[in-house]
Chain A
Amino acid sequence: MTNETKLYKVIRYLFLIGACIFVIIPLVPLIFMAFKTGAEYSSTSVLEPPKNFLNTYNFKYAIRVGNLGKAFLNTAIILTISLIIQVTLTCMVAYVLHRFDFMFKKVVKIMFTLTMFIPVVATQNLIFRMMYAVGLVNTMWSVILLYSGVGIVGIYIMLNQLDGISKEIDEAAYIDGAGYFYTFARIIFPLMKPACTTMIIINGIGLYNDFYIPNLYLNRDVQTFTVALYKFFGSMATPFEIVAAAIIIGMIPIIIVFIFLQKYIYNGLAGSVKM
């Protein structure tokens, strides 16, 4: 049963196709550019397709010169360590807040909620001084440390999940003689996998794309992928068609992630506002 008239259906398709064109048009010249030779780039219009779509010279050059492989590896290391810490700590906090009553519980909750009010950019002035003082600037640990905090959105995602896990499971475990830690680690934590997946994807995209923090702390020897791309792009010596190729390379992992996990991205982001 539907009340969609023919006119509505036509308008819907026209609007959606228009929206897709709006998304795609800025991307087209970039894709063309990555396959053009230097001479071709300077002599043709940006919207003219390349003569040879099999020209992989720019891609090879970008990988060789831009140190992109190393930067990718750095990003992968930072992401893996930070996400493991972040998700584990968030599960722990959410579990304690959901299952136990204790003194100062309200205070703890308020403390986590209030961080929403504090923009990251308004804290780095001093954090940078602290990091500098302990010698962490220009090491991955500065960024990993900053990324390892527990955010309120993550806590809410986990609390929602815990609502669906019966408390009787915990109590049965206690009766069987399991300790608090064992109950959490072996029984509850595995049941929280769906929420963990959502959090890993949403935060993973955010961290992979983050520029502000890595640019501040890692802009010399150790670089993340976004920073390497920025340095590459910022140096006037790099021809633009090479930059275009480097960018296409940077888009590949995120597009692969997306193809496999589209459903989680839509549901996860939507879920994170239903707090």
Chain B
Amino acid sequence: MIIRRRLAAGACALLAALATGIAPASAADGPSKNSPKVELVLDVSGSMRTRDVDGQSRMSAAQQAFNEVIDAVPGGVRLGIRTLGAHYPGDDKEIGCKDSKQEYPVGPVDHTEAKAAVAALRPTGWTPIGYALRGADQDLGTDGGTRRVVLITDGEDSCGQPDPCDVARELAAKGTHLTVDTLGLAHDDKTREQLQCIAEATGGTYTSVQHTDELSGKIKQIVRRADTPVETPKPVSGANECAKAPKIGQGIWTDRETFSEHRWYRVEVKPGQELRAAASVGADRAVDRDYGVLVRAVGESGQELVRGSEAGSGRTDVMSSGLRYPVGKAKDKNDKEPRTVCLEVSNSFSAPPNVKRDPGLPVELAVDLVKGPDSPSDLAAFGLGRGWVLLAVLAVTGLLAGLVWGWLSRWRVSVWRAN
């Protein structure tokens, strides 16, 4: 009964949440200013003519998938389309490597126009992936909301400079939360490595596409992911010592930290509050096998208060640790002065010499201030006991007490009688 009522309440809450979630999208004519933005970047280079996706050419498979995606885009998502290698058929590398054009601007989707833009594309030129990524970043603008790029290509960058992987890392480090998901239509090692590198550098995913339905399914999934509401982290730049550290409060913060660098932040904690900090350092490039991360809470006098550390080896996306530090209630009731706690985040990642050091590894710092813990006076619940030993002790004690009391009374009675 109670369960059913709770379920009903839960369902109502869910409905309400859904309604509020949908409302901004359906109430306004277009998506709101903070709605997520996705740009599809399609490779239209000559090699897209190859017929190896379910018997049709890579190009027509991509066009078919795009049509399905355009039909399925949720109302709240702004979608744009950019191509690379679609317009210059010549051999001049200089011109071919700047051949990237926005075919459909990022905004609410007009199904007919978007489909027409896709249908007109014919496999043509070079593969300037790095150049196209920079263009896509500009297309998406810098206003709020999730920003995602879906890169669909069948080959490695044929232009060499700029290296698409470096471009991706540089764009991700700009603090505008760009994620690049890559879809590979060819399965050679070089293409795969490059696309994996781009995805890894921005926290995106890499998929190797074998069939047409996989292609449209994956793009739809990425669009859905962009549409999932999530807390956007605020950028911060930590100092190299506590005294100069920036003050941060509750929330999620992002920063960059190179190998073996220490970054400091300051948090103000009121008496009776508990500071909670979780830090994760991302491995967005090839790193050596063993690594670790250390988070320390340090008092203003330089004393370590508490630390969290984690080490690992092998393949990973992030290494994270956390700590909690309760500030006890002040003895003086009027003392509500917040205490300053310094947080130090350091890592022991390292990388082979050919790996770029700049920009640093992405750091995500989640800071929370909550009510302090209620320390128990006894570890056992309410100080209660349990077990046969307890029963035996109580029973024997009771028996002895009864016997002593009884003998005492007998002795008293006999003394009284004697008198």
**A and B associate:** no
A residues lining the B interface (CB < 8 Å):
none
B residues lining the A interface (CB < 8 Å):
none
